[in-house]
Structure 1
């Protein structure tokens, strides 16, 4: 027992030196701090903002939130925590990242960050409009309002310090390339247009004082249970065409983000590979403790998402064994494994 304790202590000391993890959290050097986590994007990081807007893309009813602290739905597209929560927790900021539109949000909560994410949004305005989501441009306006409120509450200099020492996370583009790009004839041209919007957004938040920015690549969209069911054939295979589009977009995004960063030497930009960790889980589920990766836990697991996943649809007996919670979104356990697998990249790029 004593030997085990010593090993844990030594590991945490090593983690401290290497900016790695100890007990699921990042150990930062004394001269490195993360004041807040600020998140922009779609349903992967919507902490409940869509509860307060007129849209069908909501998750504020059972069985969503089945494994939340009080077992009640929060608006997160998960049975519990999401990507936002696990990132904030791993960075030692807080265990649950709140939605910026939450009317119960207290002033003190603003100092450690919020999510502006909205299910159904994209970088292309048409995507957000078609799903009645909060556009990325509007999320940027919400961020500006957040900064003003922060300055009013604690003063300009402390507020600026929080923004400078925060980490901004951007997770979007998924809805654009699944939905809106079908209106386009040229996938490469559309991907380039989206990435230009990503870079414009990145520059906008930089001008507002942000210096550490995390941009997620697209996941393997062809492996979502819903997409498998829709166009994966009788065997519901991963759809290569959708995955190829995601990889094309990701390759351009990575290159362009690296080029952008050279023009802003004070910034630290982390391109996070969201694709390969998910493919690894889907192709080697047992390695990560999952039994089912081609279906969600809600209902049949083949199509249920948003209002199709409701209190009348049964859920799987062991949620921890399902990588997906519904037809698109990972389960709480799925999100946890994803964050565990991307943390080192985040560290290497930001600190």
Structure 2
């Protein structure tokens, strides 16, 4: 067993022990921050697409096969990265003797929004047209608009704008977008012409300009502790290995190269905003580098398969999602990918724990989420 896996087992045992104690006495652990607001795509969507007319939905088995309560709309067998960050106790606390997960915007209401809301939507992009071939989705701009509506409710619940602003300034804001702008836009010439309009450098510039516009709105509406997740190694996903890799194992460099350009620009946004907004703190999570470590040394993290999807897709046919009621692999913790694009809970856990407590200096810049929560 690798050192990384042993450490993870220790962490899980400790967390489960604490949770068991809390359940025994019916107590509620104090969160590190009062609320958690999540923006993103299918990597962190937890049900906002369930009622949309969209092909990008995951509210059926085998999705959620290992999640409490079954399928919820999460594109994984279990928890997503943001769920696991909470599981490592940034703020998900005991509530009514159950683990509390941040609710999706589609169903969040009343007092529960004070604990945070998940606005993420599968197929969503930074650009408005991204993902349109998949049907309904809530773009980054739409998610930010939904957040503005939520802030109005927070003001009503807390009584006035100053109290709400002070409350929101203590919350964590998690943002992870951009993957679809490449897979469901730039590198999909049958539906989009952006690949002909822009060089990879120009496209990254366009995306970052649009991204920062929404970040400024979030800042204007109270966001002060902001986590920006870089794009992972999309060129190493089972879908791309099936379609564009000769041996089914070598990552597609054309896509990964474009992703690295975007990530470098996004990391630059952290410095730009931290210099401009001295009352806020923005950080960057190097998802790309974390995935690179996993793929380079899978056994260190307990994985034996990093090329195929656990629910029978990926290299077999390049399919995007699991088929309804499809029988998944039995050893899900040994697979990095659940379907052709999305990690298993085990894969999400690696990214989450390194985002929360950086294993390498490059994992988080300038600080990790744990430190951000303490600021």
**Cα 1:162–1:309 shift into 2, 3 Å:** farther
Which residue pairs with 1:8 in the alignment?
Answer: none
Which residue pairs with 2:195 in the alignment?
Answer: 184
Which residue pairs with 1:143 in the alignment?
Answer: 147
Which residue pairs with 1:63 in the alignment?
Answer: 62
Which residue pairs with 2:175 in the alignment?
Answer: 170
Indicate whether 1:251 and 2:264 are aligned: yes
Distance in 1, Cα, partners of 2:35 & 2:45: 17
Contact 1:42 1:118 in 2 (8 A): yes
Contact 1:81 1:96 in 2 (8 A): no
Q: TM-score, normalised by structure 2?
A: 0.80
Distance in 1, Cα, partners of 2:177 & 2:101: 20
Deviations 1:22-42 (A, max 9, x none): 7499xxxxxx95111101110
Report the Cα offset of residue 159 of structure 1.
Answer: 3.1
Indicate whether 1:84 and 2:97 are aligned: no
SS in 2 for 1:193: helix
Indicate whether 1:310 and 2:340 are aligned: no
Deviations 1:267-323 (A, max 9, x none): 1000111101111111111100111111111024433433x4321x22101111111
SS in 2 for 1:99: coil
Contact 2:131 2:185 in 1 (8 A): no
Report the Cα offset of residue 98 of structure 1.
Answer: 1.6
Which runs of 5 or more residues in structure 1 are unaligned? 1-10, 13-21, 26-31
SS in 2 for 1:52: coil
Q: TM-score, normalised by structure 1?
A: 0.86
SS in 2 for 1:49: coil
SS in 1 for 2:115: coil
Which runs of 5 or more residues in structure 2 are unaligned? 1-9, 19-30, 94-99, 188-193, 358-363
Distance in 1, Cα, partners of 2:320 & 2:133: 17
Indicate whether 1:152 and 2:156 are aligned: yes
Contact 2:85 2:353 in 1 (8 A): no
Distance in 2, Cα, partners of 1:249 & 1:136: 16
Which residue pairs with 2:227 in the alignment?
Answer: 214
Which residue pairs with 1:122 in the alignment?
Answer: 125
Distance in 1, Cα, partners of 2:153 & 2:176: 24
* Cα RMSD for the two superposed structures: 2.2
Distance in 2, Cα, partners of 1:86 & 1:209: 25
**Cα 1:289–1:263 shift into 2, 3 Å:** same
Indicate whether 1:107 and 2:106 are aligned: no
Report the Cα offset of residue 135 of structure 1.
Answer: 1.1
Distance in 1, Cα, partners of 2:356 & 2:229: 12
